[in-house]
Amino acid sequence: MGKRKPTKFTVFLWHRRIGLLAIVLVIILSITGIMLNHTDKLMLDSRYINNSWLLSWYGIEPQEQPVSFKVGDNIISSLDNKLFFNDTVVTELQQTMHGAMAGEQFIVVALESAIILLTLEGEFIEHVSTSISFTDIQRLGMKYNRPVIETSDPLYYIADEHILDWDVISNEGIEWTQQHTLSDQEREALLVSYRGNGLKLERVILDLHSGRIFGQYGVYVMDAAAIALLWLSFSGLWVWGSRRSKMRQKRHYQKHHRS
């Protein structure tokens, strides 16, 4: 029996190894490429992904749980340093929210050492520091239809009707605000406002096709897959050509050396 030529055997061996390594990436490239060619028919640009893991990977999913308070028929929520009136962003937050209530003229939102005033329709009026009078707010309540603050001392302060001055009072007859547990529908509306409609399927497919979904080195992984595909093409042609040449030589030998 004739021995296998080392060069031919090496090319064939690496052709097989690289093919096995690249097969998954080549399948991804092929499927995502076909999908991108039919974006309109598949409606990739109008379909959204709401998977929490993927949204977190893209930095779209909030890192914290919402804190919400019911104010009349409306909901005041804080989520990832943003203040929401129902599902509308009102302003950025630098402190934790400790309560929200509706007075005669304003909606009052209590933070750690400040209050935020909103109109009854949820429009931002101003951010007022309370550090001159008190800090370390623990909760917000209401008495005589006016806001009451409890601090960590604990001391209790009631605002005047214009919410300009605060007076110390006793802890009697105060109606404290309670956190509101969002329903599934309310939570979903808040999340849609936070992240938009979600993550477009088209973007995920594009990032999967390019490798960007795998991080900063993902593009190079897909580049390697493309190079591997080129290698498989050329090495496959080389192996096919070698085998064809060998078959020709075999037929030629058989033709001229028949017994």
pLDDT tens figures, 198-256: 678 888 888 888 887 777 777 777 777 777 777 667 766 766 666 666 666 666 556 66
End-to-end, the C-alpha distance of the chain in Å comes to 19
pLDDT of residue 245: 67
Give the lowest-confidence range in 10-24, 33-47, 187-201, 217-231: 10-24
73-94 per-position pLDDT tens digit: 999 999 988 999 998 999 999 9
pLDDT: which is higher, 152 or 27: 152
Asked if 20 and 197 count as a contact pair (C-beta separation under 8 A), the reply is no
The 8-class DSSP code of residue 212 comes to G
pLDDT of residue 259: 52
Give me the mean pLDDT over the 99-113 stretch: 92
Give me the mean pLDDT over the 109-137 stretch: 93
pLDDT: which is higher, 213 or 107: 107
Q: Is 251 exposed, middle or buried (0-12, 13-18, 19+ CB in 10 A)?
A: exposed
Give me the mean pLDDT over the 26-51 stretch: 84
Q: How far is CA 84 from CA 100, 105, 109, 190, 239, in A?
A: 11, 19, 11, 8, 65
Does pLDDT of 22 surpass 70? no
pLDDT: which is higher, 151 or 62: 151
pLDDT band of residue 1 (cuts 50, 70, 90) is very low
Asked if 109 and 99 count as a contact pair (C-beta separation under 8 A), the reply is yes
Angle at 75 between CA 73 and CA 81, to 5 degrees: 165
pLDDT of residue 207: 87
- Counting residues of the chain whose pLDDT is more than 70, the rounded percentage is 80
The pTM assigned to this predicted structure is 0.61
Q: How many residues does the chain have?
A: 259
pLDDT of residue 108: 95
57 in helix, strand or coil? helix
pLDDT of residue 243: 66
CATH number among 2.30.29.30, 2.130.10.10, 1.10.357.10, 1.10.10.10, domain 66-195 = 2.130.10.10
Domain boundaries, the chain: 6-56+199-247, 66-195
Q: Is 45 exposed, middle or buried (0-12, 13-18, 19+ CB in 10 A)?
A: exposed
